[in-house]
């Protein structure tokens, strides 16, 4: 059975799974209690008198409202992130040393604490909460200067539907200096999601003081954490992240530049499916567990369609790329975390002789398709 036949059968399976009737879905909450809601399919009778555009518009409105209803109460939350006695983080935290060096209850830090509390309080009405993009904040129960942040990838970008985690700490001289931020969704240091996001957690952004910029782009005491988070979502999680690399913007609009951007996006889309969607769903942090469950439940059909479209793109890429780019750096699609030398014949029912005749570029593409097919299957099994 060849790749395209397996792909076709998989799509039939996905469509069968997604034929949800009108039923009540129960989402278990880690904070206690259950959250019940109706399936989005079958919840509104679609009569023949309604045209397709009207049906689509009503479904979209219902979907947007449902997402907000599901997640509004969780947008800013608290969790026991620190051990009460030792003051050490219960979970991994990028700024442990800085955390231990600051006593938030010291009278000398009174103004700092007030400023932080005021900012967090104002976020209740300021953080974006849409199906297309959202930001969630989790604060330690006893210290408001220690935060965990979850940012959803905006629609129409290679980060779509993914959930990306950050650590945030307010330094001792805040707001004279910007907050410290570290990126955590790196596939254990194996993935670099953007030229501005390093796999060691570093974030290059003018407002954080980690990148050069015009004076108006840099941090000043009137800036806020909200501005930092909006900047990350709006300036880093973009439609064409390839051009965030310094100097690459000069090639934007040229055949070579646009092709390099397209191939870069294919890598990011795959990493999003594997690390920001599937891994978050299966192994996401407990303090964001309710958010992750509700986010992916609300967007389940969009996620499956996203994986399906990416898989089809890669199948087409393999089929049409008779003269692929060789090992010349930016054009070569690489396969994060996937070692093609594994025994593919036994695991994936693909003729190993075919793989041996392909060049490295095609081998990598096939590996990505295999990995994504597995991810799609697991997503189908995971969702209600």
Q: What is the largest CA-CA distance in the chain?
A: 71
∠ CA 173-82-114, nearest 5°, is 35
More confident residue, 109 or 326: 109
Q: Which of the listed ranges 167-171, 209-213, 265-269, 326-330 does the model predict with the highest average pLDDT?
A: 167-171
Element (H, E) at 34: strand 34-38
In this prediction, residue 56 carries a pLDDT of 53
Q: Express each pLDDT in 329-361 by its tens digit.
A: 433 333 333 322 333 333 333 444 444 455 565
Q: Is the pLDDT of residue 121 over 80?
A: yes
167 in Cβ contact with 93 (< 8 Å): yes
What gap in Å lies between CA 256 and CA 242, rounded to an integer? 12
Beta carbons within 10 angstroms of residue 65's beta carbon: 11
Calculate mean pLDDT across residues 18-43. 43
Tally Cβ neighbours within 10 Å of residue 326: 10
Q: pLDDT confidence of 305, banded at 50, 70, 90?
A: confident
Burial class (CB in 10 A: 0-12, 13-18, 19+), 353: exposed
Please answer whether residues 170 and 99 qualify as being in contact, where contact means their C-beta atoms are separated by less than 8 angstroms.
no
Residue 371, token pair as written in the block: 């990995």
383 band by pLDDT with thresholds 50, 70 and 90: low
Rounded mean pLDDT, 110-125: 93
Residue 130, Cβ neighbours under 10 Å: how many?
Answer: 13
What is the C-alpha to C-alpha distance for residues 233 and 230, in angstroms, rounded to an integer?
5
The CATH-assigned architecture of domain 3-382 is Roll (3.10)
**Is 204 part of the annotated catalytic residue set?**
yes
Length of the chain: 384
48-106 pLDDT per residue, tens:
444 555 545 556 667 778 899 889 999 999 999 987 555 677 888 999 999 988 888 88
Model pLDDT, residue 41: 39
Mean pLDDT of all residues in 210-236: 94
- The Cα–Cα gap between 176 and 179 comes to 9
Among residues 138, 144, 204, 335, which one is catalytic?
Answer: 204
Contact (CB, 8 A) for 144 and 120: yes
Query: Which residues are paired to 78 by β-bridges?
Result: 139
Q: Among 55, 54, 21, 50, which residue's Cα sits nearest to residue 38?
A: 21
- Rounded distance between C-alpha atoms, residue 44 and residue 23, angstroms: 12
What is the residue extent of each domain of the chain? 3-382
Percent of the chain exceeding pLDDT 90 equals 45
- Is the pLDDT higher at 354 or at 205? 205
* pLDDT > 70? residue 287: yes
For the record, the structure tokens of 170 come out as 């307010």
pLDDT at residue 193 is higher than 80? yes
Alpha helices, H only, 300-359:
300-320, 344-348, 352-357
- Residue 87 DSSP class: -
End-to-end CA distance of the chain: 29
Residue 196 has pLDDT above 90, yes or no: yes
């Amino acid at each position: 059975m060849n790749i395209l036949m397996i792909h076709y059968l998989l799509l039939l399976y996905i469509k069968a799974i997604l034929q949800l009737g009108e039923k009540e879905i129960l989402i278990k909450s880690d904070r206690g209690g259950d959250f019940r809601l109706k399936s989005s399919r079958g919840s509104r009778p679609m009569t023949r008198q309604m045209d397709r555009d009207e049906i689509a518009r009503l479904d979209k409105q219902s979907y947007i409202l449902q997402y907000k209803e599901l997640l509004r109460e969780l947008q800013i939350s608290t969790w026991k992130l620190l051990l009460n006695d030792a003051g050490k983080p219960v979970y991994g935290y990028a700024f442990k040393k800085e955390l231990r060096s600051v006593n938030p209850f010291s009278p000398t830090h009174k103004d700092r604490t007030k400023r932080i509390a005021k900012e967090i309080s104002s976020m209740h009405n300021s953080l974006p909460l849409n199906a297309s993009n959202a930001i969630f904040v989790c604060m330690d129960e006893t210290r408001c200067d220690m935060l965990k942040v979850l940012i959803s990838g905006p629609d129409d970008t290679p980060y779509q539907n993914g959930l990306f985690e950050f650590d945030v700490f307010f330094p001792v001289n805040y707001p004279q200096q910007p907050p410290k931020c570290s990126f955590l969704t790196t596939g254990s240091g194996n993935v670099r999601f953007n030229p501005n996001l390093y796999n060691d957690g570093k974030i290059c952004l003018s407002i954080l003081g980690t990148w050069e910029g015009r004076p108006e782009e840099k941090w000043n005491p009137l800036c806020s954490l909200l501005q930092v988070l909006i900047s990350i979502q709006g300036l880093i999680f973009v439609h064409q992240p390839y051009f965030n690399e310094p100097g690459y913007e000069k090639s934007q609009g040229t055949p070579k530049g646009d092709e390099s951007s397209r191939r870069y996006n294919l890598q990011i889309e795959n990493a999003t499916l594997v690390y920001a969607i599937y891994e978050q769903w299966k192994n996401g942090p407990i303090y964001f567990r309710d958010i992750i469950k509700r986010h992916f439940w609300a967007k389940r059909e969009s996620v499956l369609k996203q994986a399906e479209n990416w898989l089809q793109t890669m199948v087409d890429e393999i089929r049409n790329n008779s003269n692929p780019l060789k090992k010349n750096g930016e054009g070569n699609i690489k396969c994060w975390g996937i070692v093609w030398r594994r025994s593919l014949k036994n695991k994936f029912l693909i003729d190993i002789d075919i793989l041996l005749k392909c060049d490295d570029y095609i081998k990598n593409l096939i590996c990505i398709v295999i990995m994504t097919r597995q991810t799609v299957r697991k997503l189908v099994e995971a969702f209600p």
